[in-house]
Chain A
Amino acid sequence: MAKLILLCLKFIILSSAVEAVFEDQVGKFDWRQEYVGKVRFSHFDTHVQSSKKVLLATENNVFAALNTRTGELFWRHVDKTGPEGNIDALLQHGQDVVLVVGNGRLLRSWEINVGGLNWEIVLDSGSFQSACLVGQQDNVKHVAVLKKTVISFHYLSNGHQKWIENLPESETVDYQSVYSDGNGEVYALGIVPHSHIAIVAYSVEDGEIIKQVTMIHTAWLSNIQASCVVISQGMLTCVDPLTVSLYMLDLHTESQMTQIPLQSLGLEVAPGFHPVLVSTQPNPGRQPLSEFFLQLGPDYYQLLQLNNGQIVTLRDFKPVRNNFSTLYEYLFSSLQASSLNLFSAETGRRLLDTTLIFNMDPYGGKPEKLHVQAFLKKDDSVGYRVMVQTEDHTLTFIQQPGRVMWTREEALSDVVTMEMVDLPLTGTQAELEGEFGKKADGLMSMVLKRLSSQLILLQAWIAHLWKLFYDARKPRSQVKNEVTIENLSRDEFNLQKMMVMVTASGKLFGIDSKTGSILWRHYLDNIPSNAAFKLMVQRTTAHFPHPPQCTLLIKDKDTGLATLHVFNPIFGKKSHVSPPALPQPILQSLMLPLMDQDYAKVLLLVDDQYKVSAFPSTKNVLQQLQEMASSIFFYLVDSTQGRLSGYRLRTDLSTELIWEVVIPAEVQKIVSVKGKRPNEHVHSQGRVMGDRSVLYKYLNPNLLAVVTESTDLHQERSFVGILLIDGVTGRIIHEAVQRKARGPVHVVHSENWVVYEYWSTKSRRNEFSVIELYEGMELYNSTVFSSLDRPHAPQVLQQSYIFPSYISTLEATLTEKGITSRHLLIGLPSGGILSLPKMFLDPRRPEIVSEQSREENLIPYAPELLIRTEWFINYNQTVSRVRGIYTAPSGLESTCLVVAYGLDIYQTRVYPSKQFDVLKDDYDYMLISSVLFALFFATMISKRLAEVKLLNRAWR
């Protein structure tokens, strides 16, 4: 017990030494952006006139309410990822929204004002087809859900099931759609493909089948939802592309199906186009409108009306780029790509003063969907706003006559990879830097240069003071320090950087790390849907006047074919450098530390013939490669066959196999292979022990950590393995197996340690394990490390700990010179990002405290690691579904820049060893100056007093 108390005390003492956020630092250098993902359903809340909500259900299984004035989130509910959280349908009635989730597994009702759940019920299994609200006149009380074999009917108020009925002949009939128009009946519409339509009408009251209709002679029909709509008083209208005619059937009277050839209406279908019908039902308790659209071509819509059983053409819309959006008795169309007009549905006439012009972003995608919010103005005319959804998942909310109210880049909800690039120097900074670069200029010119640069600095300082003075006179609201691409420049500690983010949709972003504002965006169309991305910085901003250069490798996972996109990371513009065409599938890419004459690092691409191509491939580069070839090694991983192989480059840019490690794929599979980060620095080569001797670290830059998981997932037999392999020689340095454990395994590999986390199936908890490698008390070769000449195997130390939470992702902090102690950044499912000091994961933590271990500041071993909320670097700014954490060094050794991305993006700075190299922001200038002044006056007074005293004594 006493030991436990001692331990607790130790923890308290230690934790006070660990950094945490102070309350007044909130928002000072951190920011968060919340996203929802690509919108699947959207619905404007119209039940209150003054409502500012738009409800969104997205492909990322998120249901959210946005403020239409600002574009910010009111609330957001993040469901499970994958098909189980998939939102199938969204139905709104009043202040309730009903969602069908997980292929019809769950029915949820949300209260939209508070954002709380009303009820949730589980539906019977079966694949979801369609759902609709059912009401009578304005009184909507029920929701009908149609599945493959059953139709069920639920109360809106509490979700209870009113009735459930099996669909007749559900083995043969494919029921696809459910319809109701408030007459006490619900229709399930189904077809037998290429044979007939089946319509079943149920009574709303008890689910009794009122009537059942089968229509033959509909062999042309294969999909109801694609080619049929219900219009007016229950007229089922279908379009047949073969006979080019409309078929109409009255659901209530079940008379014969009537055929209306489109030619008789004077209409023609564009060749090869499948015509589409669009109708609208403004109120689930009322009939749909009798006006409907027929799309006859990719950019050709026809407005039709059913008038006393006769179809009348009202107006044609041609050319129309985008979808129509219909709402009540008004119709909207976006004509000529950039302007939107309002038409009256009854007459097809264009309403005056309803034009809305929107300018498309040249770097964005094409508009995909329009979501229109209409409202009555004070003078009873109709006003409207529109939310445009483009291919690149951007939402733009536009008000008449074309003012963009807000833009949301929803592509950022799916960031795949990112890099941080230093901002360029300003002209004056570059001038100053230039002074140090050149040599042998003679004394006089050096002095002159020095003076001139000092003058430039003085000038800049005066200009800065003048600006301060000028701004101070203006009211505060007018002073704006907006960051634009023009005034971007590096700050004195290099804390502000450009975040280049690559999203799964193929849109690239350049974000200012200080404010989070998007400085440039670039949409790459024709990105394959299953693309893998790798972003590399080929040239940093340090080589003025050469522009910085980033290269994005886009690889189709199926075919292995890759393309390169070369761009300037500061401005986002595509580079003039034309990347090589890559006709062969690419296996591996590697950045070499070699540079060409323009200071661009060389990128090597290995294709499936094991041939290597270089980019850039100038003569200079090829010559350097030939000289260096014998010392360029790379490895390939084939996880399906469990094969790891190492290759060496030959002078003719072909390769030779050097080593091969085969891990039997039927027993275990390779999950991840992690090397060290190339920009990592290790400051100290060893650790000073309690007895003043030095334990040297095994710092092999070529070491790879290979994680394997067993294919047998039974909890008694599953295991997680970790292999440490030298990437040059293929020598297995260490092998460890964690029995009764399974993935997902998260690994961090840095310096001389590997930290990994797994799930222990035996104890049902997450465990961390740390492996540290040491050379011993003596270094074999202290000047240079060579994998080929290291005869001694390193000492391996390992220790494991319990971690009381699941983790989503794992990363380590990184600083400029590696002097600062390291922390592990752990993304938790709760959205917190925990900064755990690496010193807690130290295999040398002793079980019994000795004098020596105390000398070394080792914490006594405790099996459980603690999660303290003070260690959350993002306090209550949770990051949903955190998928990755990116760390980058800054110009200050104490400071590491951190970006966590998932559904949200969070940027902050961490100080793992506190801010030892700058004055803290709570430094008390008042205190120090008041003490100085007080001291000064005290000496003055005491001097005077002493004089008086001396004088008095002399007189005595």
Chain B
Amino acid sequence: MHLTALLWVCMQAALVVAWCFTDMETGPGAGVSTQPNGDRFKIEGRAIVPGIKTQDWVSTARILVEGEEYVGFVRTDGSFAVNDVPSGSYVVEVVTPNYRFEPVRVDITSKGKMRARLVNYIKTSEVIRQPYPLQIRASGPHTYFMKRETWGWTDFLMNPMVMMMVLPLLIIVLLPKVVNTNDPEMRKEMEQSMNMLNPNPELPDVSELMTKLFSGSKGSSKAGGSSKGTRPAVKRR
């Protein structure tokens, strides 16, 4: 109910557009019922898996027309034909367990005229032409599996939290070595800059930040642990 109401508007809009482009006797919206004694036609085409020899996949491939209503098989060269199909509009799919093919809609008029177009289940009468005889190219192997979340040192080190901790640590450890701290001028300068850096005493202390981080990410423990030992020493100076 919901769906039909929603779709009706776009359908009507699309129908008008589609009518202009159709060159067929039976419009796609009209549909064709199957006559038992009507003419039977053949849907032909070729399935291609780029980079793979046809022998390696044809034995597992099937051509399904409207579910399993009509079934065809792939020849050793990758071409296929589905025989004995009455006129109508059908979704043709190449089904293999390993490769992904896009389905194609094939319209057959009562006189046997064929055309192929993209499958669009929402705007069912939209016509985007596809070549006929069908040329269906596999768009790659099926992705059936999720990737496991693996744990590696690089992931750990490139973590922004870890970066944020390791860099200041390096500065704290290395800076006193580079700058002579005994120089009183330099000391004054440093104190000034320190005050500038930490103007608000209510801001959380570095150690608090550390503990928060520590409880947040289990991986960051090592850095946190080692920094604990060194930090107070620097501050005292």
CB distance from A445 to the nearest CB of B (A): 48
Cβ A800 vs Cβ B73 within 8 A: no
CA distance A879 to B75 in the complex (A): 22
Residue of B nearest to A843 (CB): B2
A379 close to chain B: CB less than 8 A: no
Interface string of B53-75 (1 = CB under 8 A from A): 01100111010101111110111
B170 close to chain A: CB less than 8 A: no
CA distance A805 to B121 in the complex (A): 10
Interface residues on B, range: 35 or more
A946 close to chain B: CB less than 8 A: yes
B137 close to chain A: CB less than 8 A: no
With A116-B59, A938-B226 known as contacts, the answer to whether A85 contacts B71 (CB < 8 A) is yes
CA distance A804 to B75 in the complex (A): 27
A715 close to chain B: CB less than 8 A: yes
Identify which of A311-319, A430-438, A748-756, A758-766 touches chain B.
Answer: A758-766
A922 close to chain B: CB less than 8 A: yes
B20 close to chain A: CB less than 8 A: no
Question: Which residue of A767, A831, A864, A939 contacts B95 across the interface (Cβ within 8 Å)?
Answer: A831
Cβ B95 vs Cβ A120 within 8 A: no
For B33, list chain A residues within 8 Å (CB).
Answer: 714-715
B118 close to chain A: CB less than 8 A: no
Cβ B58 vs Cβ A799 within 8 A: no
A594 close to chain B: CB less than 8 A: no
Residue of A nearest to B99 (CB): A876
With A111-B76, A114-B58, A938-B222 known as contacts, the answer to whether A22 contacts B145 (CB < 8 A) is yes
For B218, list chain A residues within 8 Å (CB).
Answer: 928, 931
Identify which of A335-343, A538-546, A573-581, A867-875 touches chain B.
Answer: A867-875
Interface string of A451-483 (1 = CB under 8 A from B): 000000000000000000000000000000000
Cβ A830 vs Cβ B95 within 8 A: yes
Question: Which residue of B4, B59, B143, B149 contacts A869 across the interface (Cβ within 8 Å)?
Answer: B143
For A831, list chain B residues within 8 Å (CB).
Answer: 95, 97
With A114-B59, A934-B221 known as contacts, the answer to whether A802 contacts B122 (CB < 8 A) is yes
Residue of B nearest to A861 (CB): B2
Interface string of B137-168 (1 = CB under 8 A from A): 00000111111110100000000000000000
Question: Which residue of B6, B93, B228 contacts A830 across the interface (Cβ within 8 Å)?
Answer: B93
CA distance A290 to B222 in the complex (A): 91
Identify which of B81-89, B173-181, B183-191, B194-202 touches chain A.
Answer: B81-89
B3 close to chain A: CB less than 8 A: yes
B219 close to chain A: CB less than 8 A: yes
CA distance A938 to B220 in the complex (A): 12
Q: Count the A-B residue pairs with Cβ separation under 8 angstroms: how many?
A: 168
Cβ B58 vs Cβ A800 within 8 A: no
CA distance A75 to B143 in the complex (A): 23
Question: Which residue of A80, A761, A763, A941 contacts B70 across the interface (Cβ within 8 Å)?
Answer: A80
Cβ B58 vs Cβ A20 within 8 A: no
> In B2-23, which residues have CB < 8 Å from any A CB?
2-4, 6-7, 11
A927 close to chain B: CB less than 8 A: yes
Cβ A927 vs Cβ B75 within 8 A: no
A798 close to chain B: CB less than 8 A: yes
For B54, list chain A residues within 8 Å (CB).
Answer: 116
Cβ A802 vs Cβ B121 within 8 A: yes
For A872, list chain B residues within 8 Å (CB).
Answer: 142, 144
B112 close to chain A: CB less than 8 A: no
Cβ B93 vs Cβ A799 within 8 A: no
A819 close to chain B: CB less than 8 A: no
Residue of A nearest to B57 (CB): A116
B233 close to chain A: CB less than 8 A: yes
With A20-B146, A941-B229 known as contacts, the answer to whether A800 contacts B1 (CB < 8 A) is yes
With A21-B145, A799-B3, A942-B229 known as contacts, the answer to whether A864 contacts B121 (CB < 8 A) is yes
B225 close to chain A: CB less than 8 A: yes
CB distance from B55 to the nearest CB of A (A): 5
B124 close to chain A: CB less than 8 A: yes
Question: Which residue of A117, A714, A861 contacts B73 across the interface (Cβ within 8 Å)?
Answer: A117
CA distance A928 to B4 in the complex (A): 54
CA distance A114 to B57 in the complex (A): 9
A935 close to chain B: CB less than 8 A: yes
CA distance A934 to B151 in the complex (A): 16
Residue of A nearest to B146 (CB): A20
B216 close to chain A: CB less than 8 A: no
Cβ A763 vs Cβ B124 within 8 A: yes
Cβ B2 vs Cβ A77 within 8 A: no
CA distance A863 to B16 in the complex (A): 21
CA distance A118 to B54 in the complex (A): 13
With A763-B124, A869-B143, A876-B144 known as contacts, the answer to whether A114 contacts B55 (CB < 8 A) is yes
Cβ A863 vs Cβ B6 within 8 A: yes
Cβ B31 vs Cβ A939 within 8 A: no
CB distance from B62 to the nearest CB of A (A): 7
CA distance A814 to B62 in the complex (A): 33
For B221, list chain A residues within 8 Å (CB).
Answer: 931, 934-935, 938
Residue of B nearest to A763 (CB): B124
Cβ A115 vs Cβ B145 within 8 A: no
Residue of A nearest to B105 (CB): A764
Question: Which residue of B73, B76, B98 contacts A77 across the interface (Cβ within 8 Å)?
Answer: B73
A628 close to chain B: CB less than 8 A: no
CB distance from B18 to the nearest CB of A (A): 13
B46 close to chain A: CB less than 8 A: no
Cβ B67 vs Cβ A122 within 8 A: no
CA distance A847 to B7 in the complex (A): 13
CA distance A798 to B1 in the complex (A): 8
A520 close to chain B: CB less than 8 A: no
Question: Which residue of A24, A80, A105, A118 contacts B75 across the interface (Cβ within 8 Å)?
Answer: A118
CA distance A22 to B225 in the complex (A): 35
CA distance A869 to B7 in the complex (A): 27
Residue among A77, A767, A808 with the highest chain B CB neighbour number at 10 A: A77
CA distance A733 to B125 in the complex (A): 37
CB distance from A248 to the nearest CB of B (A): 43
Question: Which residue of A765, A869, A881, A938 contacts B121 across the interface (Cβ within 8 Å)?
Answer: A765
Question: Which residue of A80, A116, A863, A864 contacts B76 across the interface (Cβ within 8 Å)?
Answer: A116
> In A88-139, which residues have CB < 8 Å from any B CB?
102, 105-106, 108, 111, 114-120, 122
Residue among A78, A763, A934, A949 with the highest chain B CB neighbour number at 10 A: A763
CA distance A869 to B97 in the complex (A): 11
For B66, list chain A residues within 8 Å (CB).
Answer: 806
With A763-B121, A799-B3 known as contacts, the answer to whether A922 contacts B148 (CB < 8 A) is yes
Residue of B nearest to A24 (CB): B148
CA distance A116 to B61 in the complex (A): 9
CA distance A806 to B142 in the complex (A): 19
A205 close to chain B: CB less than 8 A: no
Residue of A nearest to B233 (CB): A949
Cβ B124 vs Cβ A115 within 8 A: no
Cβ A934 vs Cβ B75 within 8 A: no
CA distance A85 to B64 in the complex (A): 14
Cβ B68 vs Cβ A80 within 8 A: yes
For B100, list chain A residues within 8 Å (CB).
Answer: 869
Residue of B nearest to A953 (CB): B236
Listed A/B pairs (24) with beta-carbon separation below 8 Å: A21-B144, A80-B71, A84-B84, A115-B58, A116-B58, A116-B73, A116-B76, A117-B58, A118-B75, A118-B76, A119-B75, A715-B31, A764-B124, A804-B121, A806-B67, A808-B67, A829-B67, A831-B97, A863-B122, A872-B142, A872-B144, A876-B98, A877-B97, A938-B226
Contacts from B to A (Cβ < 8 Å): 1-4, 6-7, 11, 31, 33, 40, 42, 54-55, 58-60, 62, 64, 66-71, 73-76, 80-81, 83-84, 89, 93, 95, 97-98, 100, 119, 121-122, 124, 142-149, 151, 218-219, 221-222, 225-226, 228-230, 232-233
Given contacts A20-B145, A23-B148, 17 further A-B contacts (CB under 8 A): A24-B148, A80-B69, A114-B55, A116-B54, A117-B73, A117-B75, A120-B83, A122-B40, A765-B124, A799-B1, A804-B121, A806-B67, A830-B93, A869-B143, A945-B230, A949-B232, A949-B233
Which 9 residue pairs spanning A and B have beta carbons closest together?
A938-B225, A115-B59, A806-B67, A116-B76, A875-B144, A75-B59, A876-B97, A942-B229, A800-B3
